[in-house]
Amino acid sequence: MAHTDHQTMRRALRREVAGTIGVLTDEHDFRAMRRYRSFAFDDHTTYLEQVEALLRSRASRGDHTTVALFDPEEYAEFCAETGLDPDLPSSRARFTAELAATGATLPYDGRPLADLLPTLVEEAVRHATWEYAATLLARLGPCASCGEDIGHAAFTRASDLLARILDTAPPGHRHLVCSVSGTPEALVAVLHADDDPDGATQLDEAEALEFTTVLALGLAAHSPGGLVMRTTAPGIPDRVYGWRLRGYGLEPLTAGEVFDAYCTDAESGDLISPESNVDYCEPPDLGEGDQRSGHRH
C-alpha cells in the first residue's frame, strides 16, 4: 500500500515538472551532431517526426514543454568550458537546461512542428541580436571626462525617443523597424505595438528591449541607420514615415525620401511600384527640439 502511495505521489510530482527539448532545426546542424556515437538518429526527417511525437505525448499528459534551438557549435563550446564529454546524452541534457535558463525558447502550444520551428528561429535571432547589441553597449564603458556610463545613457535616450515615437503615432497597429549598419555587423530590430480597448499601447517586452538596445547602440556609436514606422488602422490608408540616425538623435525623413526608400529595390536599385492605399509622409514632430548632439565629451 505504501509503495502504491509513493508511485501515486511521484506521478503527481511529474505533472509539476516543466521540460525543455533542444531541437536541431536544419539538416546542417543535424549532420554536425551525427559525429557523436551516442546520438541515435541518422535521418533528419525521422528525427523531427519523433520530436513532434514526443511533444504531443507530453501535451496529452498535461505536461508543459518549451522548445529551444540546439546549436551544435554552441554545444561543443559549452562542453569544452564545463569539462563535459559531448558524446553523452547527459551532457546534451545539461546544455538544454542551460538553454532553458538563458536562451530563446517557445512553449509548445500544439502547433505542428513545421509551423513552430520558423517562429523559434526568429526568436533565437532576436535573442542573439539583443545579446550582441547589449555586449557592444557595455563595452563602451564610462565617459573618460565625466564618468557617465555611455551605454546606460544611450539606452535611456533610446527609451525616451521610442516613447515619443509611440506617443505621437496615430492610433492602430504600429510596425517599427530599426536598422543600424555602422557596427561590426548590421543589426535590425522589429517592434509591434497595438492599442488595447482603453487606448493604452501594448508591447511585447522582449521586442521592446531588443529594439531599444539596438537603437541605443546606433545612437551611442553614431552609426549610420534609420527607423521606419508603418501604421495601419481600419478604413484609412496605411501611413509610412521614418527618421535617419543623426548624431545622438533622429532626423526626420521627407515624404520623398520615404517614398524612394520603399519604392527602390535594395539590391538592384530598380524602381518598384508603390503600394496602393499607402501614404508616404513626413513623421510627426517628436517635440524635443534639437537634442542630437548628445554626450558632448
Please identify which residue in the block is written with the cell numbers 520530436.
Answer: 51
Distance CA 150, CA 220 (A): 7
Distance CA 243, CA 226 (A): 6
pTM of the model: 0.77
- Read off the C-alpha cell for 149: 556610463
Contact assessment for residue 180 and residue 217, using Cβ atoms and an 8 Å cutoff: yes
Please identify which residue in the block is written with the cell numbers 517592434.
Answer: 191
First to last CA, the chain: 77
pLDDT in single tens digits along all 297 residues of the chain: 545 565 665 555 555 555 889 999 999 999 999 999 999 899 999 999 999 999 999 898 888 899 999 999 999 999 999 999 999 999 999 999 998 888 888 999 999 999 999 999 988 888 888 888 999 888 888 877 777 888 899 999 999 999 999 999 988 899 999 999 877 778 999 999 998 777 778 888 888 999 999 999 999 988 899 999 999 999 899 999 999 998 888 999 999 999 888 777 666 667 777 788 899 999 999 886 545 445 544
The pairing of beta strand 19-23 with beta strand 65-69: parallel
Phi, psi of 281 (to 5 degrees): -140, 175
The residue length of the chain stands at: 297
Q: What are the tens digits of pLDDT across the range 176-231?
A: 999 998 777 789 999 999 987 777 788 888 889 999 999 999 999 888 999 999 99
